[in-house]
Amino acid sequence: MRKPDIFDEIIQCLKTGEKTGADTSMDEETLRAFYNPPVRKTAPRGSAPAPMRTRASVVPQEGRQVNTAPRQAAPVQNIQGMPPAYAPDIPEWESLRTECAACMKCGLGPTRTNMVFADGNPHAELMFIGEGPGADEDATGVPFVGRAGELLSRMIAAMTFDRKTETCIANIVKCRPPGNRNPSDDEAAACMPYLKRQIAMVNPKVIVLLGAVPLLYLFNLKGIMKLRGLWLDYNGIPVMPTYHPAFLLRNPAAKKDAWADLQAVMAVFGRKPAPRR
């Protein structure tokens, strides 16, 4: 029998119809997505604003107000050195992948097994950004394929998104820090230009930050416990910080807050958990 993970209590709540003040009903297919981990890969791959939760808003250090509305299609401002957004072009995406694979700008390059570029669809409207590869990701060249990745896949399925076709997943750094430690400032600084170019190519409608590391290096903000669930703005793109799946695996009590954050993201897209039949 599978050891219960941190979302099992949410599932039990959904099954028993516990009142939470939000529409959290799911169909059986979505419930199975929580219970059954996805098949793990063994080789790398070749409109109205959202209803806001009742929490105080936050102003990033740059002084820009939080933006909770879906981003318009117009080109974004060139803020924080990010190139103007444009429609993703697959050859250019692959060219950037090749550039990253040859990168030796920091000490992580010589120690990697595989560079971990991204997973999913570069045309996706929903983008997830984590911190860096772990051992499983370093072995496969694909982000979020370990235990935390399996949980993220079930979270995405619960949001009624398909991980491969409707999301794009990347990290602050593309090579594994030794011992799965957080990336250093120098390592993040070397890799951030690649991530900013990825964001510009994908040009997503919403970004979800997974944990404290992307919050720090994209916004120069600390305090994921206080800032999770609060909409931020990155070059005109609404950004939702939430907990990293690895943190959720260690801290079951955080699951309800994470699910609330994901529901706020779903609302931007007009999506709700499918009603039970």
Q: Where are the domains of the chain?
A: 68-268
pLDDT at 4: 54
CB–CB of 99/124 below 8 Å?
A: no
* pLDDT for res 12: 55
Sheet holding 119-120, edge to edge: 119-120, 167-171, 126-130, 206-210, 237-242, 232-234
User: How crowded is residue 38: how many other Cβ atoms within 10 Å of its Cβ?
Assistant: 16
Tokens for 187, please give them.
Answer: 């390592």
- Helix segments in the chain, DSSP class H: 8-16, 28-35, 90-101, 135-140, 147-158, 163-166, 185-202, 212-219, 224-227, 245-250, 255-268
Written as six digits, the tokens of 164 are: 């491969």
| Distance, CA of 118 to CA of 141 (rounded, Å) | 9
Tell me the pLDDT of the chain averaged across its residues: 79
pLDDT of residue 84: 38
Residues of the chain with pLDDT under 70: 1-89, 274-277
Query: According to the model, what pLDDT value does residue 276 have?
Result: 61
Residue identified by tokens 């939702």 is 240
Its CATH class, for the domain covering 68-268, is alpha beta
pLDDT value of residue 75: 32
**What is the per-residue pLDDT for 88?**
54
